[in-house]
Structure formats: C-alpha cells, structure tokens
Chain A
Amino acid sequence: MAELELSGVSKTYGAFNALKDVSLEIGDGEFAVFVGPSGCGKSTLLRLIAGLDPVSEGQIAIGGKDVTSRQAGQRPIAMVFQNYALYPHMSVYDNIAFPLQMERRPKDEIRAEVAKAAQIVQLSTRLQDKPSKLSGGQRQRVAIARAIVRKPGIFLMDEPLSNLDAALRMEMRSELTQLHRRLGSTMVYVTHDQLEAMTMADRIVVLNGGKVEQVGPPMELYHNPANLFVAGFIGSPPMNFLAGTVRSAEGATVSVEAARIGVVTLPFSGEHLYAGDSVTLGIRPEALELGAGRQVQFSVVPEAVERLGLHTIVHAGEEGRPFTALFNGDPKLRAGEAINVSVDGASVKVFDADGILRSRRAEV
C-alpha cells in the first residue's frame, strides 16, 4: 500500500501538450478514478505513473519516494491493461507467475502465490489453460491476478472493462470494488465511462484537455460540479443547459431570465454575479418533476419518449439544443404532446460566463 503524489506533472509530444501541470495527491488505500473524454490525457497520466513514458516536467512520488526517474519494473506498481496484455503463448499459471519468475523467487513460493491469486480471482481450475481458451472476463481476471501477485503499492487500471459486454462489465465492477476492499490497496483506475467512475471511486479526478477540472468524491462532483464541463460530464443523462441573463442579484436571491423558462428567482446570494451578466443554468434531468408542484415551472414538447420501466426519459430538444427529462415510473406521455414540468429553484445550477459554478453549494 502506498500514497501517490504528482507535482506539476506535464507531458508534451513535440508541440502538443498532452498534460499540463497536473498536481494531485491520492491517499493510501484510496480508489481514485481518472475520468474524461477521449484524448483528455487520462491514459497518458496513468502511463507516466507506471513509468511506461517519461514525464516532460514534474515529479511523481510513491509512498513518499521520488520514482520519477525509475524504470517501470522498479516502481511499486502493477498495471491492468484494456486489452489484457496477457502472454498468449503461456498458460494462465505462467502468466500469473511471470512477475515472480522475473524476481527469481523460489518455485514453491511462486506456486503458493499463484494459487492464492488464482483463488482470489476464481480461476483455480483454469491454471493450465492458455488465455485463448478463456472468455474476456476470465482473461481480465488473469491480468488482475498477475497484478495481485506483485503485491504492489498501487494498482493501475487502464480501462480494464472496456472490452467486456454490458452485463459482464457490471459484474466485474462489483468484483473490482470488492477486491479493492479486500486488498486495501491504492487503486488508480482510468475510464471514459462516468458510470464506472461514479460507482467505483472514492474520489474522481475529472480531466479535460490535459488539465484537471475537478477532484472530489462522486457525490460532490454530481451535486457541486465546479464548472460546466464537469456538470455536463458527470451524470447520465447529462445535465441540461439553458442560456440566460442575470436580471438582478440582490440580497439572498438571484433573478435570471433564460430561454424556455422565462424569469426565475433562485434562492442564493449572487456573489460574483451582476445584472446583465450572461450565465448558463444547469438542470439535472432527474431534478425535473411532472406538473407544477415545484417553484420553477415551464412546459416542454417531447420529441421522443423512452420507457425503461423504472424510468422514463423524455427528449425535448429545441433549435438543436438537447433537453432531457427523467421521470420515475412510466407516466403516460406521448411525443408531440406538451407537458408541464417543474424544478426546485435550489436544484438549478448557475454557471457564470466563464463556466464556473456560482450558485450555492449543495450539502453532500
């Protein structure tokens, strides 16, 4: 087990800045998830931590020791790859044993360690098989067992579930969470899937364009996204955004006029906001209710209604701007028939012209 500290880490490829001045601390035993869209630098950051690529600037410390200039094999880490990266010519046993064989451990010890790891990932009966005989989920378990035997300070996982089908992904998500609890190791997990990030992480690191946008526990990011990017990335379906203008910001309320909903008065002090400022209102689809029961009321015309049994998703975009509502159960709605919806003023997020959250922080 070990903590990870990144200080001013940057990575450039020629003129392209893949990572810009990333500083981050991940605590001992923490499950941290790097999340962001393709090309945001999350895998690059993981590779720098692993030592597979050299940093251009900055330092990486693991367990309090600077490992910036150490080779990959000499860092107290193990990594699980998206495509498993198993050795196809070796049996499952040899795949798991390989790191220990490289350390020239005694054969008896290797046998015992492999048996223990195989038991953890429930592959004890497949040790003599080649990886080609295993399913995708089993292959990923072999890769995890290969990481476990190294007893690393930090587990690095690069989109390990991306190649699995939806059902298996859900199963493996829960298995990885249990594994983390069982081993108590520090884990750094990269994914582009915010659902994985929300369900597995102790803390999420949202990356965009090579920069850290926000770091925090999943619910903190969900309820108090620091900016428009995080607000739009965390949550599914994504948050609705409505362009608006501040009418007044006095006392304990802010009055905003926005497309679709007209003038609304929101219950928070408008620090940093002034009359005439352009703002963006953010409304989570699941914060909307059918009918006029809440403070902010408006009507939308569904263009498509998706019934999922537990939920119903209504798409009601206008002029190319998406707008989504998510209702519990299976209300009788039809595409093309206007419906009244409402939302609590306190649930409406206000972002200033620079995209920074300016509304009151929700208690998490």
Chain B
Amino acid sequence: MPSRSATAGPFNRSWGAYAFLAPALLILFLSLLLPAIATIGMSFTDISFLRPTNWVGLDNYFRLMADGRFQQAIGNTMYYTLGVTFPTMALGLLAAVALNRKFPFRIVFRTIFYLPVLTSLIAAAVVWVYLYEPYSGPVNGLFVSLGLGPQPWLSSPNLAMTALIIMAVWRDFGTAMIIYLAGLQDIPEEIYEAARLDGASKFSILWRITVPMLGSVTFYLMIILIVQSFQVFGAIYVMTGGGPLGSTETIVFQMYQTAFGYTEFGYSAAMSTVLFFVILLFSLVGTKIMRRGEG
C-alpha cells in the first residue's frame, strides 16, 4: 500500500545511515565518550588501585571545595590562561596584518613564525629551559648586556609562571597568525579601498575596520586558546615540575600528580570532571555567542 511504503521509507533510510555511521560512532564512543563517562563515575569513588574501592558519593567534590592547593591551581591556571590568551592574540593579529601585505619573502616569514607550532612541545621546552638557564642562558645574557640583572626565571615563584607564559606565547602565536590570516583574506579589498578613499589612516583602518571585522575569528581563537591553556601540562612537566612552591601547578598538572603521584584516582577524577564541565561551559557559551554574531 502506498501509505505504508511512504512511512517506511524515511525509517529505512535512517537505519541505512546509522549503519554507515556505526563504525565511526563506535570509535567515538570507545575513545571519547566511554573514558569521559568512566571518569565521571570514578569521581564518586575512592579508587586508587592499591586498596578496595568504595563509593564515596560527592565527598571528593566537597574535599575539592576546601582544598587550598586546588584553589591555588585554579588561580595559577587562570593567570596562565589570561597571560597566554591575550598576548598570543595581539601578537598573532599584528603578525597576520604585517604578513598579509605583498612583500618579498613574506612566505618565508610566515613559515618562520609558524615553525614553533610544528616543533615538538617537549623539544621546545627543553630548549627554553636552556634559554632560561640563570648563569649561561641567552635570556639572562641579553638582560646583562642591556644592563639589567640576571633573573632566576624558572626557580623564582614570582617569575616561573611568567617564563612559562612567554614560552607558550612564542609557541602559539603562529596558530593565531594563521587563523587571523585566513580571516583577513575574507575581508574584501574594496572595503580597505573605500576606507582609504574616506581618508582613514593605517591605524584607523586597523582599529575601525580590520579588528571589528575579525570579531568572530577573534572570538573563535579566544575560545580555542582558553580551552588549550586550561589543559596545559607538557611544558610545566618538563620545565618546572609544578614548582617552585606550587607556583606553576595548574589544574591538569595537579590532576596528574594526584592520580599518578599519590594514586588518588578518584579525587583526581573529580578534578578532571570539574575541569571538563568548565571547558564545556566555555565552549557552549562561546558557540552560542558566535552563532548570535553570525545571525
């Protein structure tokens, strides 16, 4: 009967589509969703693999709220995130605007600026440990030659996080530059020409035309950088080990230490769950604002 086949058609087609999607969905479930669910489940236990596991309900979360060390990690993470995100975006924008013009060797410059992104994080971190070396490192060499005193970059609680931020900005601004370059190439040349005819100076064109027109790119980049900075681990592991005096201990680094140093996997899973929801919140808010902007 025609009516029956009409209702059966879309249903069958849906199942066909799900069948084709199944392998990808299975991989996504096993690699992303299952570990996430398992982590959330673990956060309600005192699992440590060294003693019998008990269900502890929300105890881990109550403990987190009162944990001064965790609060310090939150503060460190916020400081690092702000310190990395905005300078990276500003430098990336300036580099993109400069390299969007036609001049000889601009491809070479783009490549040079993007190279740190391609470098292995661990290798780069090792090199930066050498650069920051207090006695023979080039950074202090430069400071001394400028008449400034040598600084204990990675061994001072006041300077270590800043040193990590500088290294992260160096490494990430190439990404910002590439994303901004793509955004700049979407701005029609005629708009710049109209602004030139309207008597706008180069600074006015940058401030009144380019920056606002890159608004959605800037927002996208900001969300990416914030989420990425929240999850910083490798550079801290290699360069400071969270020290001195916990001054570079971020949430993810503390999660690692709590899980693998103190074998408190349940407590670490609670930290991980909190971080997961904070990042999720940022992503959702960011996506919503971007969609509103596009609309």
Residue positions of A touching B, CB distance < 8 A: 50-52, 71-74, 77-79, 81, 83, 85-90, 98-99, 102-103, 146, 150
CB of A85 within 8 A of CB of B212, answer no
Report chain A residues within 8 Å CB of B213: 87-89
Smallest Cβ-Cβ distance to A94: which chain B residue: B208
Contact of A102 among B188, B198, B212 (CB under 8 A): B198
Docked complex Cα distance between A322 and B75 (Å): 81
> Do residues B198 and A98 form an inter-chain contact, with CB atoms below 8 A?
yes
A77, B215: Cα distance in complex, Å: 31
- Most chain B beta-carbon contacts within 10 A, residue among A52, A77, A78: A52
Docked Cα-Cα span, A101 to B213, in Å, equals 18
Chain B min CB distance to A94 (Å): 9
Question: How does the 8 Å CB contact mask read for B198-214 relative to A, with 1 for contact and 0 for none?
Answer: 11110010001100110
Contact across chains for B190 and A73 when beta carbons are under 8 A apart: no
Q: Which residues of B contact A98 (CB under 8 A)?
A: 195, 198, 200, 208
Residue ID in chain B nearest A47 by CB atoms: B193
Name the prevailing secondary structure of the B interface residues.
Answer: helix
Q: Please give me the 6 A-B residue pairs with the lowest Cβ-Cβ distance, nearest first.
A: A73-B199, A85-B194, A99-B198, A85-B190, A102-B199, A89-B212
Question: What B residues does A73 contact at CB under 8 A?
Answer: 196-200
Say whether B197 contacts A72, CB under 8 Å: yes
Contact mask B154-177 → A, CB, 8 Å, 1/0?
Answer: 000000000000000000000000
Q: Bound complex: CA of A102 vs CA of B200, how far in Å?
A: 6
14 contacts between A and B (CB under 8 A): A50-B197, A72-B193, A73-B200, A77-B197, A81-B193, A81-B194, A83-B188, A83-B190, A85-B191, A87-B209, A98-B198, A102-B198, A103-B199, A150-B198
B196–A85 touching, CB < 8 Å: no
- In the complex, the answer to whether B215 meets A89 with C-beta atoms within 8 Å is yes
Give the complex CA separation of A181 and B208 in angstroms.
Answer: 34
Compute how far the CA of A213 lies from the CA of B229 in the bound complex, rounded to whole angstroms.
64
In this complex, what residue of A is CB-closest to B215? A89
CA distance A99 to B197 in the complex (A): 8
- List the B side residues contacting A72 at CB < 8 Å: 193, 196-197
Interface centre among B193, B201, B209 (most CB of A within 10 A): B193
Shortest distance from the beta carbon of A71 to any chain B beta carbon, whole Å: 7
Q: How far is the CA of A98 from the CA of B188 in the complex (A)?
A: 18
> Once the chains bind, are A52 and B199 in contact (CB under 8 Å)?
no
Which residue of chain A lies nearest to B295 when distances are taken between CB atoms in the complex?
A132
CB pair A52 B198 closer than 8 Å: no
Bound-complex Cα distance A52 to B195 (A)? 11
Q: By CB atoms of chain A within 10 A, which of B191, B196, B199 has the most?
A: B199
In-complex Cβ contact of B197 among A78, A87, A90, A103 (8 A) = A78
Contacts of B197 in A (CB 8 A): 50-52, 72-73, 77-79
Bound complex: CA of A79 vs CA of B201, how far in Å? 17
Cα–Cα, bound, A102→B198 (Å): 7
Minimum C-beta distance from B214 to chain A (A):
10
**Across-interface contacts of B193 in A (CB, < 8 A):** 52, 72, 79, 81, 85
Smallest CB separation, A307 vs chain B (Å):
41
Separation of A159 and B201 alpha carbons in the complex (Å):
26
Q: Smallest distance from the beta carbon of B63 to chain A beta carbons, Å?
A: 48
Contact (Cβ within 8 A) A85 B199: no
> In the complex, A74 Cα to B200 Cα: how many Å?
10
- Distance (Å) between the CB of B194 and the closest chain A CB? 4
Docked complex Cα distance between A98 and B212 (Å): 14
Closest A-chain residue to B192, C-beta based? A85
Closest to A143 in B: B194
With A52-B193, A79-B193, A85-B191 given, name 7 new contacts (CB 8 A). A52-B197, A73-B199, A78-B197, A85-B190, A87-B191, A90-B212, A99-B199
State A89–B193 Cα separation when bound (angstroms): 16
- Cβ-defined contact, B204 with A102, below 8 A: yes
Would A52 and B196 count as touching, CB distance under 8 A? yes
Residues of A contacting B191 in the complex (Cβ-Cβ under 8 angstroms): 85-87
Q: How far is A146 from B190 in the complex, measured between Cα atoms in Å?
A: 14
- How far apart sit A269 and B213, CA to CA, in the bound complex (Å)? 66
A79 to B191 CA separation, bound complex (whole angstroms): 12
With both beta carbons as reference points, the residue of chain A lying nearest to B194 in the complex is identified as A85
Q: Is the CB of B194 within 8 A of A79?
A: yes
Q: Looking at the assembled complex, report how far the CB atom of A162 sits from the nearest CB atom of chain B, in whole angstroms.
A: 13
